[in-house]
Chain A
Amino acid sequence: MVVARELRRRYGETDALRGIGFEVGRGELFGIIGPDGAGKTTLFRVLATLLLADSGSATIDGLDVARDYAALRRRLGYMPGRFSLYQDLTVEENLEFFATVFGATIEANYALVADIYRQLEPFKKRRAGALSGGMKQKLALCCALIHKPELLLLDEPTTGVDPVSRKEFWDMLGRLNGQGITILVSTPYMDEAGLCDRIALMQGGSFLDVDRPAGIVAKYPHALWAVRASRMSGLLGDLRDKAGVLSCFAFGDSHHVATDGSLGPAELERYLASRGHESIEIGRIEPGIEDCFMDLAGAGEGR
């Protein structure tokens, strides 16, 4: 469905895209995961035919994003980073406007958005500007969907939205994907990675890795331990001082410690006890996407 080859794009001094290449299959839910400034938005704009790459190529369904932009624009559903709604129009007016502009009607494609729009219906006379973040996001999705696109490009649809609304949003994406719509979505939240079929981890204009979430986790090269003790703040520094510890970061209520083969849990516990820590708990854990991202992004930084 989407084929990108060696996409490069500069903005003044910064390389927003440094040779991005990947493929997305029809019907896939593909996530691009990375922090602000990774180049996600630039990539989405290139794919949405809004920006020309300096070099490289990209095709969607065989159509070139640079040359065939007019034909492509009919087939894409694009939701830019900021919810691009008219704040002074009501929920209903927004949807109606975008439907008409894309040459569709709400009635014809209602089935597609019904699931989402039903939640907005009680507020349909309310101006979009007066909706909460979660509701705006749902309305923007409806607007992007209303012309029944074959490919949905969603640029950071969940940024700044609370966890509950985020969860609901991903449930909706899952259902849409189930109806055969190919979805390309970006997010800065690593915990959303597991909800995609495949993901690309992105930083500094490059993809660090592209794989199924499980595949990325399986490639994690180190041993990873969750460490807890009665006094958490001093623990971080002590762990980083220990030879054999590759990185150590706080993860919720424990610290994730990556070690090389030489350091076992027994030795680690002895070491921490010698530093005066009490009620030490050390358990082997499976890495999450966030562990993998940090390892790929800057190995050794967490010392």
Chain B
Amino acid sequence: MKAIEAQSLTKSFGDFVAVDRISFSVEEGEIFGFLGANGAGKTTAMRMLCGLSKPSSGFGWVAGLDIGRQSEKVKASIGYMSQKFALYDDLTVRENIRLYAGIYGLPDRLIAGKTDGLLAGLGFGEERETFVRDLPLGWKQKLAFSVAIVHEPRIVFLDEPTGGVDPATRRRFWELIYQAAERGITVFVTTHYMDEAEYCDRVSIMVDGRIAALDEPAELKRSLGAASMDEVFRLIARGAKRGGE
């Protein structure tokens, strides 16, 4: 079974077709980079896949669930993390983990053990009672990711998780992503850093609501004769017409 599958997935707002009949699939355990210019429709597509917005037409399945009809089940079986980490600044590290474990429906008897395991895994033993607002950015980011996968979802969606983060922390974060992928979690990630596109197994590039390219980074570079993903992106997105989001 595919982790994510989209068939002619479309979302329009009035006359404006934000996402125009996109079809693709993501294998289980894959790291899938979802790229596109501002306004290309990335965010809208991602919201549909996360069960947050209903497709206007077309179909999509996430973890085998229909995103149109089973959106509540979809939400329960995925993890989600955005650039604005959904952590509560005025709760401690431990309280945040417990909260999200509870929100994702982990049974109470498991939560305490899970929380301790997570804290140990992150090396946050000392900081368990620290308020999240006092953590350095890189730590917050790590915590946000751990919290997003606290319920061991089969798929995690990451929306520009590394924006504005310093280069070393950014790379440390990708190491976390790899670890998750090795545990079999499918990773669906958007980014504006083109070097990060190289870390993905496959990437798609959206232009004007459609998927203009989809392949392994090396294959994209080879077929376009480009030296880097940055060049690939520019070659493909250059023809974009759309200014509106």
Residues of A within 8 A of B (CB): 34-38, 122-123, 126, 130-135, 159-165, 167, 188-191, 203, 233, 236, 249-253, 290, 293-294, 297-298, 301-302
User: When the two chains form their complex, are residues A249 and B168 in contact, meaning their CB atoms are under 8 A apart?
Assistant: yes
Query: Top 7 A-B pairs ranked by shortest CB distance?
Result: A35-B166, A132-B39, A36-B164, A133-B38, A252-B198, A162-B37, A252-B195
Contact of B195 among A35, A251, A294 (CB under 8 A): A251
User: When the two chains form their complex, are residues A130 and B238 in contact, meaning their CB atoms are under 8 A apart?
Assistant: no
Taken together as a complex, chains A and B put the C-alpha atoms of A135 and B168 apart, in Å, by 31
Q: Would you list 14 pairs from A and B whose C-beta atoms are within 8 A, ordered by A residue?
A: A35-B137, A131-B245, A132-B37, A134-B38, A162-B237, A163-B230, A164-B238, A188-B163, A249-B167, A251-B195, A252-B199, A252-B229, A293-B167, A302-B171
Q: Which residue of B lies closest to A236 (CB)?
A: B175
Interface string of B82-106 (1 = CB under 8 A from A): 0000000000000000000000000
CB of B216 to closest CB in A, whole Å: 10
B174 at the interface (CB under 8 A from A): yes
Q: Which residue of A lies closest to B35 (CB)?
A: A162
User: When the two chains form their complex, are residues B39 and A160 in contact, meaning their CB atoms are under 8 A apart?
Assistant: no
For the side of the interface on B, what is the size category?
35 or more
User: When the two chains form their complex, are residues B195 and A164 in contact, meaning their CB atoms are under 8 A apart?
Assistant: no
Taken together as a complex, chains A and B put the C-alpha atoms of A91 and B195 apart, in Å, by 34
Contact of A36 among B137, B178, B217 (CB under 8 A): B137
User: When the two chains form their complex, are residues B245 and A162 in contact, meaning their CB atoms are under 8 A apart?
Assistant: no
Q: Which residue of A lies closest to B178 (CB)?
A: A233
Q: Which residue of A lies closest to B235 (CB)?
A: A164
Taken together as a complex, chains A and B put the C-alpha atoms of A236 and B195 apart, in Å, by 16
Taken together as a complex, chains A and B put the C-alpha atoms of A135 and B245 apart, in Å, by 10
CB of A263 to closest CB in B, whole Å: 21
User: When the two chains form their complex, are residues B174 and A162 in contact, meaning their CB atoms are under 8 A apart?
Assistant: no
Q: For A159, what are the chain B residues with a Cβ–Cβ distance below 8 Å? A: 163-164
Taken together as a complex, chains A and B put the C-alpha atoms of A280 and B240 apart, in Å, by 39
Q: Which residue of A lies closest to B233 (CB)?
A: A163
User: When the two chains form their complex, are residues B168 and A131 in contact, meaning their CB atoms are under 8 A apart?
Assistant: no
Q: Which residue of A lies closest to B230 (CB)?
A: A163
Most buried by A among B171, B198, B244: B171
From known contacts A191-B230, A250-B174, A253-B217, infer whether A162 and B38 are also in contact, taking CB-CB under 8 Å: yes
Sample of 11 further A-B pairs with CB below 8 A, known A162-B36, A293-B166: A35-B169, A122-B243, A133-B38, A134-B39, A161-B38, A163-B192, A164-B234, A164-B238, A167-B234, A250-B174, A253-B217
User: When the two chains form their complex, are residues A164 and B240 in contact, meaning their CB atoms are under 8 A apart?
Assistant: yes
Interface string of B204-217 (1 = CB under 8 A from A): 00000000000001
CB of B67 to closest CB in A, whole Å: 25
Q: For A290, what are the chain B residues with a Cβ–Cβ distance below 8 Å? A: 167
Most buried by B among A123, A233, A250: A250
User: When the two chains form their complex, are residues A163 and B244 in contact, meaning their CB atoms are under 8 A apart?
Assistant: no
Name the interface residues of B165-192: CB closer than 8 Å to any CB of A. Answer: 165-169, 171, 174-175, 178, 182, 192
Taken together as a complex, chains A and B put the C-alpha atoms of A126 and B16 apart, in Å, by 14
User: When the two chains form their complex, are residues B228 and A252 in contact, meaning their CB atoms are under 8 A apart?
Assistant: yes
CB of A186 to closest CB in B, whole Å: 11
B242 at the interface (CB under 8 A from A): yes
Q: For B217, what are the chain A residues with a Cβ–Cβ distance below 8 Å? A: 253
B76 at the interface (CB under 8 A from A): no
CB of B38 to closest CB in A, whole Å: 4
Taken together as a complex, chains A and B put the C-alpha atoms of A38 and B167 apart, in Å, by 13
User: When the two chains form their complex, are residues B163 and A132 in contact, meaning their CB atoms are under 8 A apart?
Assistant: no
Contact of A233 among B36, B182, B218, B245 (CB under 8 A): B182
Taken together as a complex, chains A and B put the C-alpha atoms of A188 and B164 apart, in Å, by 6
User: When the two chains form their complex, are residues A164 and B166 in contact, meaning their CB atoms are under 8 A apart?
Assistant: no
CB of B43 to closest CB in A, whole Å: 11
B112 at the interface (CB under 8 A from A): no
User: When the two chains form their complex, are residues B192 and A160 in contact, meaning their CB atoms are under 8 A apart?
Assistant: yes
From known contacts A163-B194, A165-B38, A253-B218, infer whether A132 and B244 are also in contact, taking CB-CB under 8 Å: yes
Q: For A133, what are the chain B residues with a Cβ–Cβ distance below 8 Å? A: 38-39, 245
B160 at the interface (CB under 8 A from A): yes
Taken together as a complex, chains A and B put the C-alpha atoms of A132 and B36 apart, in Å, by 13
